[in-house]
């Protein structure tokens, strides 16, 4: 969603500065999934992110997806060094028709080529100046050396900077500003930005970048400074410059708040408080939290408490407010705030960790692990896994501790444990002799067991251990990415998928992983092309599976469905392990259900279950339900609940196959296990006092309007929207507001929903209707005011 918003902003940007900033954000965001290169300055081949294309001012939204000039005229690589060297020789006396004289040096040039560099050069060489008819022009007093001018002459012919030394490129950059050579300036800017590799270079070159308005160079220096040490003097200096350059209110809010955060990290609490106060004064309410923290660090804990207390009182309460206030109180009051924080926003991890630590202090270690399991069950994070690992060590459950450490190292390979004092791998080395040693065959057995019990964290840990024994195995990296996607860890999943691509030993395998990267980043057609190319080289399970998966991700007609079935059957004929074949059988069963071939679907699900693909219980339950065997469907989902370690979705699905009271119980359990599942809130909002199908918004509205329960429904939806602004939740709440005649609230929710999916047809329709009603209401109010004024005038 963030990337989609950035793409839209870049597409509609007008000025050069906005284009550069937005394109830089896009390049930064795609570092984990880009196939070509790893440098932030590498061009992806499209105007959308190209550093050079950003330097063209003007509004042209249709051109962002066009190929940029970099891809149309690719740079010559090192194989052509000889020809490059020949090209970059100075112009000979025979070729040149004029010379620039700098001191005793004479640089032979082609007048036409130099004139093309900029309009001032063109006016100088072909205008009304005396230089236009001279063969030799004195250029000694223009701030460029003879070597710099030779480089400019070479660029005028080759449009490349070649292997010029840094001082020469800096001279050229200065020349470009004096003579407005935009193309050469763009090349110098990009070239210098690509040279930045450490803090020392960034500190030297940022002054040149600021002085010569080289935006890419400044951005590259800033990125290096912030990545190396957020608390460094250089980072502070750059943020202070950021504050000085801020003109819009939101820019000042961001700059002042960031300065406050950095000062807080540097333990300069008075300065931190001043910057947070400045941010609040320009409207950044969230900086009140920073003021409270700075006051507390300066010894004014009660003042910090009062600050947070007023925030809770003055604004609509949110979970993070109570969590912050809990930092400044003790005892029962602290626990009440933390419990309220969890109730309002169950995704906040600090309350769970605090409660777990209290239980450890009371020597209730099992209860402490149960408390952490609550959040780990739906939101996996390295800090919660680390805490659970330490508690497991106290319990002498070393296998459990290793499981959590392996899992967190998959999420973040550079994670430092024990307050930043011990790398996770070191703790693994210490614990490894205390557990039973596994061979690679043992690992596969454990992986099958955990996979079949839907234990995603356990599976992730086993795969990490297998990779430690067999590093660089692309198949295992790919498995990691699949498990991480199940755990909703997209960035870590993309890192593993990229690693799988880089470690692949054959072209057809690499193409499959590239296809998955493209598919996961929204490039479905390109992913299909990669799959087809892979199949053309060698028929493989993964290539056929990718192609079937990408094709199935659209509304299929009967012909397309049959083609997907053929692809999955071809995949099953190719060699693969039971884990992936179980997934293919499950997908095949789903397509058969969509084609109303229930017996064939049931066979697929049974075959998947025979090879321990436990999730197939859900598909088989769906088949029973469509055959009007509701009791059998309920029993099938019960089997899944009993087998699966992560079973919130199973409770949710089972609720469809039982009566109202049992459904209410199942949905309550689903919400307790995973508060992020939105179906449960929508169902309760629609009301559980009648049998209803949660398929269309109109069904929800008719039920609730009959019982006049709109306000209760809105309150139920709002519980989840606070911590998970979901498209369907927002759309449904907008529909309720619309039915109540609250057009303003309906429009707000529609606008928020369209930010998540700008093409959602039902929301667009609802938005247009609410907009029309709001305009009519505004018109009536205006006419009433005119009528009142007229009547008063008449009196």
- pLDDT of amino acid 346: 96
Average pLDDT over residues 478-493: 93
CA distance 674 to 646: 9
Which tokens go with 751?
């606008």
Q: Please, where in the chain does CATH 1.25.40.10 lie?
A: 346-437, 697-794
The beta-carbon contacts of 758-763 under 8 Å, at least 24 apart in sequence, are 758/8, 760/727, 760/731, 762/697, 762/731, 763/727, 763/730, 763/731, 763/734
Cα–Cα nearest to 221, from 236, 240, 234: 234
CA distances from 232 to 183, 228, 229, 755 (A): 35, 8, 5, 36
Least confident residue range of 59-68, 429-438, 464-473, 747-756 = 59-68
Top pLDDT among 45 and 472 is at 472
- Say what the pLDDT of residue 634 is: 97
- The hierarchical CATH code for the domain 697-794 is 1.25.40.10
CA-only gyration radius of the chain, Å = 32
| Residue 25 binned pLDDT confidence (cut-offs 50, 70, 90) | confident
List the structure tokens of 19.
Answer: 């284009």
Give the whole-angstrom CA distance, residue 43 versus residue 52.
9
pLDDT of residue 43: 63
The answer to whether residue 78 scores a pLDDT higher than 50 is no
Say yes or no to pLDDT of 547 above 60.
yes
Task: Give the best-scoring range by mean pLDDT among 151-165, 512-526, 581-595.
Answer: 581-595
Report pLDDT digits (tens) over 401-438: 999 999 999 999 988 888 888 898 999 999 999 999 99
Nearest to 552 by CA among 527, 582, 581, 534: 527
Query: What local confidence, expressed as pLDDT, does residue 91 receive?
Result: 52
Mean pLDDT, the chain, integer: 87
Distance of CA 427 to the CA centre of its chain: 30
pLDDT at 74: 41
- For the stretch 335-359, pLDDT in tens is 999 999 999 999 999 999 999 999 9
CB distance 499 to 463 below 8 Å = no
Higher pLDDT, 108 or 77: 108
* Superfamily name and number for 346-437: Tetratricopeptide repeat domain (1.25.40.10)
- For residue 794, list its beta bridge partners: none
> Per the confidence metrics, is the pTM higher than 0.75?
yes
Number of neighbours of residue 597 by Cβ within 10 angstroms: 16
| The residue count for the chain | 795
Question: Residue 684's closest CA among 731, 652, 645?
Answer: 652
Q: Which tens digit of pLDDT belongs to each residue from 365-391? A: 999 999 999 999 999 999 999 999 999
Rounded to whole angstroms, how far apart are CA atoms 502 and 510? 7
pLDDT at 39 over 60: no
Is there a contact between 697 and 731 (Cβ–Cβ < 8 Å)? yes
Q: Which of 315, 320, 371 is nearest to 723 (CA)?
A: 320
Q: What is the DSSP string of 7-35?
A: HHHHHT--SHHHHHHHHHHHHHHTTTT-S
Predicted pLDDT at 17: 73
Q: Is 204 helix (H, G, I), strand (E, B) or coil?
A: helix
pLDDT band at 70 (very low <50, low <70, confident <90, very high): low
At 22 the pLDDT is: 81
Identify the pLDDT of residue 793: 67
Does the pLDDT of residue 37 top 60, yes or no? no
pLDDT of residue 42: 57
Name every residue whose Cβ is closer than 8 Å to that of residue 301 and which is 6 or more positions away in sequence. Answer: 295, 328
Q: Residue 137 pLDDT more than 80?
A: yes
Please give the pLDDT value at position 238. 78
Q: Where are the beta strands (DSSP E) in 508-558?
A: none
Query: Per residue in 658-715, pLDDT tens?
Result: 998 899 999 999 999 999 999 999 998 886 334 334 443 444 444 444 445 778 889 9
User: What is d(CA 21, CA 198) in angstroms, rounded to the nearest whole number?
Assistant: 21
Own/partner long-range contacts of 190-196 (Cβ < 8 Å, ≥24 apart): 190/41, 190/51, 190/52, 190/216, 191/161, 192/166, 192/216, 192/217, 192/220, 193/41, 193/51, 193/217, 193/219, 193/220, 194/39, 194/41, 194/220, 195/166, 196/220, 196/221, 196/224
The tokens for 345 are 């926003």
74 C-beta neighbours (distance < 10 Å), count = 10
Cα(40)–Cα(724) distance, integer angstroms? 31
Q: What whole-number distance in Å separates Cα of residue 673 and Cα of residue 374?
A: 7
Predicted local confidence at residue 88, as pLDDT: 46
Q: Residue 262's pLDDT is what?
A: 92
Q: How far is CA 110 from CA 58, 155, 157, 271, in A?
A: 32, 12, 9, 58
Start-to-end CA span in the chain (Å): 58
* Residue 325 predicted with pLDDT over 90: yes
Predicted confidence at residue 794, as pLDDT, reads 63
């Amino acid at each position: 969603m963030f990337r989609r918003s950035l793409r839209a902003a870049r597409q509609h940007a007008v000025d050069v500065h906005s284009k550069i900033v937005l394109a830089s954000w896009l390049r930064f965001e795609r570092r984990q999934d880009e196939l070509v290169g790893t440098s932030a300055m590498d061009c992806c081949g499209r105007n959308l992110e190209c550093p050079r294309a950003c330097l063209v001012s003007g509004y042209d939204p249709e051109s962002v997806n066009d190929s940029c000039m970099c891809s149309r005229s690719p740079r010559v690589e090192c194989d052509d060094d000889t020809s490059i060297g020949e090209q970059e020789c100075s112009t000979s006396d025979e070729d040149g028709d004029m010379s620039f004289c700098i001191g005793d040096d004479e640089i032979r040039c082609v007048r036409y080529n130099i004139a093309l560099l900029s309009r001032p050069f063109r006016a100088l060489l072909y205008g009304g100046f005396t230089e236009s008819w001279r063969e030799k022009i004195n250029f000694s007093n223009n701030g460029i050396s003879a070597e710099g001018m030779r480089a400019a002459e070479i660029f005028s012919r080759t449009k490349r900077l070649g292997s010029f030394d840094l001082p020469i490129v800096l001279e050229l950059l200065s020349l470009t500003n004096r003579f407005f050579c935009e193309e050469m300036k763009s090349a110098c800017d990009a070239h210098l930005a690509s040279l930045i590799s450490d803090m020392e270079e960034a500190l030297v070159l940022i002054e040149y970048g600021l002085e010569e308005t080289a935006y890419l160079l400044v951005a590259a220096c800033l990125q290096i400074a912030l990545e190396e040490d957020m608390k460094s003097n250089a980072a502070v200096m750059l943020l202070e410059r950021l504050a000085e350059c801020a003109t819009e209110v939101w820019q000042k809010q961001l700059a002042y708040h960031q300065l406050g955060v950095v000062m807080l990290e540097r333990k300069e609490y008075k300065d931190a408080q001043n910057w947070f106060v400045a941010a609040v004064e320009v409207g950044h309410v969230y900086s009140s939290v920073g003021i409270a923290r700075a006051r507390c660090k300066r010894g004014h804990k009660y003042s910090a408490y009062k600050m947070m207390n007023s925030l809770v009182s003055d604004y609509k309460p949110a979970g993070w407010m109570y969590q912050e206030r809990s930092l400044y109180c003790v005892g029962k009051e602290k626990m009440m705030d933390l419990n309220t924080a969890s109730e309002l926003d169950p995704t906040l991890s600090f309350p769970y960790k605090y409660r777990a630590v209290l239980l450890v202090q009371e020597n209730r270690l099992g209860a402490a692990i149960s408390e952490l399991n609550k959040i780990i069950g739906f939101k996996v994070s390295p800090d919660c896994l680390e805490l659970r690992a330490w508690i497991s060590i106290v319990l002498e459950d070393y296998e459990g501790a290793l499981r959590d450490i392996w899992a967190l190292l998959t999420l973040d390979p550079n994670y430092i444990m024990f307050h930043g004092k011990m790398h996770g791998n070191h703790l693994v080395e210490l614990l490894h002799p205390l557990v039973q040693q596994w061979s690679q065959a043992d690992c596969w057995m454990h992986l099958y067991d955990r996979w079949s019990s839907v234990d995603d964290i356990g599976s992730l840990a086993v795969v990490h251990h297998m990779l430690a024994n067999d590093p660089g195995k692309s198949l295992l990296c790919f498995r990691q990415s699949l498990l991480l996607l199940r755990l909703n860890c997209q960035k870590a999943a993309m890192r593993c998928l990229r690693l799988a691509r880089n470690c692949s030993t054959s072209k057809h395998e690499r193409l499959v992983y590239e296809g998955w990267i493209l598919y996961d980043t929204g490039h479905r057609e390109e992913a299909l092309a990669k799959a087809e190319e892979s199949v053309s080289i060698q028929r493989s399970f993964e290539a056929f599976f990718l192609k079937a998966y990408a094709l199935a991700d659209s509304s299929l007609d009967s012909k397309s469905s049959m083609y997907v079935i053929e692809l999955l059957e071809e995949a099953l004929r190719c060699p693969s392990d039971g884990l992936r074949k179980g997934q293919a059988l499950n997908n095949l069963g789903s397509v058969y259900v969509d084609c109303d071939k229930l017996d064939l679907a049931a066979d697929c699900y049974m075959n998947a279950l025979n090879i321990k693909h436990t999730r197939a219980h859900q598909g088989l339950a769906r088949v029973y339900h469509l055959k009007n065997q509701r009791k059998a469907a309920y029993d099938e989902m019960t089997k899944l609940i009993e087998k699966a370690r992560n079973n919130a979705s199973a409770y949710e699905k089972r609720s469809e196959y039982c009566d109202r009271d049992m459904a209410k119980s199942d949905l309550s359990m689903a919400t307790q296990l995973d508060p992020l599942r939105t179906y449960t809130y929508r169902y309760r909002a629609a009301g559980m006092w009648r049998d209803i199908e949660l398929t269309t918004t109109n069904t929800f509205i008719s039920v609730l309007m009959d019982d006049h329960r709109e306000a209760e429904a809105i309150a139920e939806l709002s519980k989840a929207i606070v911590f998970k602004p979901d498209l369907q939740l927002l759309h449904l709440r907008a529909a309720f507001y619309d039915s109540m005649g609250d057009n303003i609230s309906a429009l707000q929710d529609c606008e928020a929903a369209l930010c998540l999916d700008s093409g959602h047809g039902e929301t667009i329709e609802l938005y247009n209707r609410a907009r029309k009603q709001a305009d009519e209401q505004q018109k009536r109010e205006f006419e009433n005011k005119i009528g009142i004024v007229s009547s008063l005038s008449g009196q």
